[in-house]
Amino acid sequence: MVSRNMGFANLTAGYLFPEVAKRRRIYQEQHPDAKIISLGIGNTTEPLPPHIAKAMSDYAAALGTEAGYSGYGDEQGLTSLRERIAAVLYPGMASADEVFISDGAKCDIARIQTLFGSDVELAVQDPAYPVYVDGSVIVGAVGKDDGNGGRAGVTYLPCTAENGFFPDLSKIKENSLIYFCSPNNPTGVASSRDQLNALVDCALKKGCIIIFDAAYYAFIRDPALPKTIFEIDGARKCAIEINSFSKLAGFTGVRLGWSVVPSELKFADGSSVRQDWNRVMTTLFNGASNIAQRGGLATLDEEGIKETKALVDYYLGNAALMKKALSGSNFASAGVKVYYTGDSPYLWVFFPGCKSWNIFDRILEECNIVTTPGSGFGPAGEGYLRFSSFGHRKDVEEACRRLADLRF
């Protein structure tokens, strides 16, 4: 018999989203007339902007002609797309040969684990996007759940209302891999320049590498907030950025992302991280879809930038309506706290004295609205719900009316 990768035995059962779906299904079966609205998912809902959709359909049609056909593309991804990403998003910060095109940020986060030894220490925000830890469990860098929300090999960094959802960096061990997401999923908080300066300083002093997940950068509206870690001095020596067209342009189903690995970034033995990443991306991956990459190019031209701003503004408009509803007197008098600054698609909402799953059930039963329990993203998420602004406006407006009628 063939032996199993024991990393899989150390994973906890996929609990959060299947459990959300199950509770929704059971409620719907018991109440067939209920019109359930989902504010739970982190999936985009609005159509692709026309200029971007056309770039892809034109390219796809041309693939059916001799003149327009192409097979495998350039290593690292379409050169013109890498150049455009570098020029538009990282001017003076990174060059095209440091940009790698992929089929999405989640896939890059999974593949990146192959770069580091299985004895690497991790530091992650709590709450966090689950793939940072789960991917590390699969490759054996991290042990099993110790039953108290901990795991050998991981330092959890609580991000709470008390610390402004920015962790205590003194907890980070030397030579760690730091997963950091800003604007954050699920808290919606975008870290300030001072905070990111402190993070980079800490990484440089302690010999750490930061994996910076900037998948929601397009939602940042406060001009003082950095949109990439490479706006921070010193980041080129200690950070990798992972990014995506998913939330920027509605490419959750199209699939396109990129990573930036600066040439200065080195492992302990002095070898180049970029060089090994190039090896991973050309050995374990064979390029993103050429159709998707044409969509990426169109996303970052003048017309595409206008269109995607309008698309993201639409979701931000939803979030503003939800913030207003969740800040109503019915919520405020129950001590409910809405954390939302207008720079992300997620509202992070605290219900004092409640368990996340209990308040999830109440809002499902009394408002027929699906949310996401904060505790599913880590122990520091207990008592919170995440409300997602990805939805059609008319559904969000209806959800807001129902929330206004909720009595505690």
Ligand X SMILES: *Cc1c(COP(=O)(O)O)cnc(C)c1O
In the complex, minimum distance from the CB of residue 345 to ligand X, in angstroms, rounded to a whole number? 9
Residue 102's nearest CA partner among 265, 307, 241, 266 is 241
**In terms of CB distance, is 246 or 368 closer to ligand X?**
246
In the complex, minimum distance from the CB of residue 110 to ligand X, in angstroms, rounded to a whole number? 9
Element (H, E) at 241: strand 239-244
In the complex, minimum distance from the CB of residue 181 to ligand X, in angstroms, rounded to a whole number? 5
**In terms of CB distance, is 115 or 406 closer to ligand X?**
115
In the complex, minimum distance from the CB of residue 205 to ligand X, in angstroms, rounded to a whole number? 26
In the complex, minimum distance from the CB of residue 402 to ligand X, in angstroms, rounded to a whole number? 26
The rounded distance, in Å, linking the Cα atoms of 366 and 347 is 20
The amino acid present at 86, given as its one-letter code, is A
**In terms of CB distance, is 79 or 252 closer to ligand X?**
252
The rounded distance, in Å, linking the Cα atoms of 167 and 400 is 32
Q: Write out the DSSP string of 242-308.
A: EEESHHHHS-TTT--EEEE--TT-B-TTS-BHHHHHHHHHHHT-----HHHHHHHHHHTSHHHHHHH
In the complex, minimum distance from the CB of residue 215 to ligand X, in angstroms, rounded to a whole number? 4
**In terms of CB distance, is 105 or 281 closer to ligand X?**
105
Residue nearest to ligand X (CB): 104
**Residue 396 structure tokens:** 């969000």
Instruction: Please give the residue ranges that form the binding site for ligand X (CB under 6 A).
Output: 42, 104-107, 129, 181, 185, 213, 215, 244, 246-247, 252, 257
Sign of CA pseudo-dihedral 305, 310, 311, 313? positive
Task: For 250, list phi and psi in degrees, rounded to 5.
Answer: 75, 30
**In terms of CB distance, is 142 or 181 closer to ligand X?**
181
Burial tier of 92 (Cβ tally within 10 Å: 0-12, 13-18, 19+): exposed
Q: In the chain, what is the straight-line distance between the N-terminal and C-terminal CA atoms, in Å?
A: 57
Half-sphere exposure in the Cβ direction for 51 (13 Å, CA): 16
**In terms of CB distance, is 252 or 263 closer to ligand X?**
252
**In terms of CB distance, is 191 or 368 closer to ligand X?**
191
In the complex, minimum distance from the CB of residue 14 to ligand X, in angstroms, rounded to a whole number? 16
Look at residue 93 and give its three-state secondary structure: coil
User: Are 267 and 238 in contact, with CB atoms under 8 Å apart?
Assistant: no
In the complex, minimum distance from the CB of residue 141 to ligand X, in angstroms, rounded to a whole number? 19
**In terms of CB distance, is 42 or 373 closer to ligand X?**
42
The rounded distance, in Å, linking the Cα atoms of 374 and 158 is 13
